[in-house]
Amino acid sequence: MTAAQGAGCAALFDVDGTLVDTNHLHVTCWWEAFRQAGHRVSTHAVHRAIGLPSADLIGHLLGEDRDKDEDEQISAAHQALYGTYAERLAPLDGAGDLLRELAGRGWRTVLVTSAGGRELEALKRAIDADDAITATASADDVSAGKPAPEPVRHALDLAEVDPGGAVFVGDSVWDMRSATRAGVRPVALLSGGIPHADLREAGAVEVHRDPADLLAHLAASVFERVRRD
């Protein structure tokens, strides 16, 4: 496929757990943040909630009847703990190569993430493929985060592509539901630690091991079907 053949198509990517190996760091930091606030939340429960915006993650784990005055404290503790890893974040195998390959084929690549500021800068440094990234859609730019469709719709606007011309790649059930609700084909990666069956049930049309595995099977993937359509 040449660059001209890929024109008018958008590859939308979640970042944490999809392009950068951060999910288990987030789990540990959220677990400690909850513990410091006096809450016992299992690491398993935290892991299943990763991918939600901070406020939604706290609500999902503590319930709507919680003391919401604690939310800011918990979120700040998580941010401070996670920030200690900023200079040591590692990309998942093939992450930068996948973005560059798609960009070279004419795809507009957009990051769809709840990260912002220094956290986003650290993630992009880890990926090391700024030349292949068309735009970044942050949760700060929309009224609702994943699994609502707004983040994906915002990414489509930035790419100037209709839903039928896009593919969304993520690692969580929240990613799959957000993409599905936005009318975009969702592709899942197992690199975030969520089971294959859960990702399929949430709407994934394909499941790959990690970015390198998707890159190796790109020619036979949904990306090629979207390009032909």
What per-residue confidence (pLDDT) applies to 116?
85
Q: Which helix (H) or strand (E) holds 185?
A: strand 185-189
Query: What is the C-alpha to C-alpha distance for residues 53 and 163, in angstroms, rounded to an integer?
Result: 23
Q: In this predicted structure, what is the pLDDT of residue 224?
A: 95
| Domains and their CATH numbers in the chain | 3-22+89-228 (3.40.50.1000), 23-84 (1.10.150)
Tokens of 4: 């001209």
Q: Residue 87 gets which letter from DSSP?
A: G
Residues 6 or more apart in contact with residue 190 via CB below 8 angstroms: 171, 196, 199, 207, 208, 209, 210
Neighbouring CB atoms inside 10 A of 153's CB total 18
State which residues of the chain have pLDDT below 70: 1-7
Residue 9 near residue 166 (C-beta atoms within 8 A)? yes
Give 113's strand partners.
Answer: 138
Measured at the CA of 197, the angle between CA 202 and CA 40, to 5 degrees, comes to 80
Cα 166 to Cα 69: distance, rounded to the nearest angstrom: 39
pLDDT digits (tens, 9 = 90+) for 170-216: 999 999 999 999 999 999 999 999 999 999 999 999 999 999 999 99
Per-residue pLDDT, 138: 83
pLDDT value at residue 155: 97
In whole angstroms, give the CA distance from residue 92 to residue 190: 11
pLDDT at res. 215: 98
What crossing angle do the helices spanning 150-159 and 173-181 adopt, rounded to 10°? Answer: 60
Residue 111: enclosing H or E segment and its boundaries?
strand 108-113
